[in-house]
């Protein structure tokens, strides 16, 4: 049982709550599509439960495989050397075992939702497994990670509607740019290490200043995609107010870091992005209710 708790600590399972809002965002918007239906429609409890299970399982699987794939690099990186696998508190085999359980749960959840969700599952698994290895050969790894996390709202949309409509693509792009943006910020911590290990990342290839500039560009694209979502879905003033708060949080996030000062990266990476996810979800939910 101790190993299980160490595993949950390693995959930061408690942070699943910050990842859920975008999945629920896709779920709520799918239930309210098309915009002409008016009012607020709710997904079924069956959909809500299994989307939640799928999201938690997918995130757990991705983190477990990431920690396994990076175990040798983590051991050599001072920033990550105290993680459970490098320190021997958790074995590689146990990590893969828990990841396998998460994979089974994810497949069960997809099967419980609808046929299209199950059909698309292999592609999702390919991204969940493969993104951890992209840093070995391309500095586009930040966007691969973003595209993987973007599966949360898009997948929830498919789970409700059994179709891939325009808002699902917009949500996928919004999260892709959002995650890529703050992963660019986070990767600035390991610029020197990535260069020494010949790993691919934007900071290692182009420097921290370029990485932080690209992070800002990605977050501008995130806002534009969310603007498109609001327009396509016919959301009202509450959504636009919430989006304005998100813009303010993104501006503050970027003010916390600079090419020469990364001391507040964790505040920007974890805390503020949790606030952003919750803010846009709550604003969307209220906007659907008012509509």
**76-110 residue pLDDT tens:** 999 888 988 888 888 889 889 989 999 999 999 99
Rounded to an integer, what distance in angstroms lies between the CA atom of residue 233 and that of residue 31?
11
Pair 90, 7: CB distance under 8 Å:
yes
Helix (H, G, I), strand (E, B) or coil at 45: helix
**Rounded to an integer, what distance in angstroms lies between the CA atom of residue 64 and that of residue 47?**
25
Q: Say what the pTM is.
A: 0.91
Bridge partners, 31 (sequence order): none
Q: Domain containing 14 — which CATH number?
A: 1.10.357.140
**What is the number of structural domains in the chain?**
1
pLDDT of residue 6: 78
Q: What is the reported pLDDT for 18? A: 61
- Which segments of the chain have a pLDDT < 50? none
pLDDT tens digits along 53-74: 999 899 889 988 999 999 999 9
| Residue ranges making up the domain that contains 285 | 2-290
HSE, side-chain direction, 13 A CA sphere, residue 149: 24
Q: State the pLDDT at residue 146.
A: 94
Q: 182 CB contacts (<8 Å, ≥6 apart)?
A: 215, 219, 253, 268, 269, 273
Per-residue confidence (pLDDT) for residue 41, from 0 to 100: 74
Q: Is 258 helix (H, G, I), strand (E, B) or coil?
A: strand
């Amino acid at each position: 049982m101790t190993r299980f708790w160490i595993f949950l600590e390693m995959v930061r399972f408690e942070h699943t709550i910050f990842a859920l809002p975008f999945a629920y965002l896709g779920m709520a918007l799918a239930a309210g599509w098309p915009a002409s239906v008016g009012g607020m429609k709710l997904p079924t409890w069956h959909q809500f439960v299994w989307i939640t299970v799928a999201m938690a399982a997918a995130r757990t699987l991705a983190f477990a495989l990431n920690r396994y794939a990076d175990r040798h690099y983590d051991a050599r990186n001072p920033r990550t050397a105290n993680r459970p696998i490098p320190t021997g508190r958790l074995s590689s085999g146990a990590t893969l075992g828990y990841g396998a359980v998460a994979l089974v749960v994810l497949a069960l959840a997809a099967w419980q939702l609808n046929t299209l969700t199950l059909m698309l599952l292999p592609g999702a698994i390919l991204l969940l497994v493969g993104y951890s290895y992209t840093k070995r050969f391309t500095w586009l790894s930040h966007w691969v990670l973003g595209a993987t996390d973007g599966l949360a709202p898009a997948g929830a949309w498919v789970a409700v509607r059994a179709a891939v409509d325009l808002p699902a693509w917009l949500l996928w792009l919004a999260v892709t740019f959002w995650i890529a943006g703050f992963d660019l910020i986070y990767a600035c911590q390991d610029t020197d290490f990535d260069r020494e290990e010949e790993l691919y990342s934007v900071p290692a290839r182009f420097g921290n200043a370029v990485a932080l500039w690209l992070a800002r560009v990605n977050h501008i694209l995130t806002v534009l995609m969310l603007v498109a979502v609001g327009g396509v879905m016919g959301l009202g003033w509450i959504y636009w107010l919430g989006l304005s708060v998100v813009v303010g949080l993104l501006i503050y996030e970027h003010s916390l870091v600079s090419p020469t000062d990364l001391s507040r990266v964790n505040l920007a990476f974890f805390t503020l992005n949790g606030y952003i996810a919750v803010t846009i979800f709550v604003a969307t939910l209220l906007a659907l209710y008012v509509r």
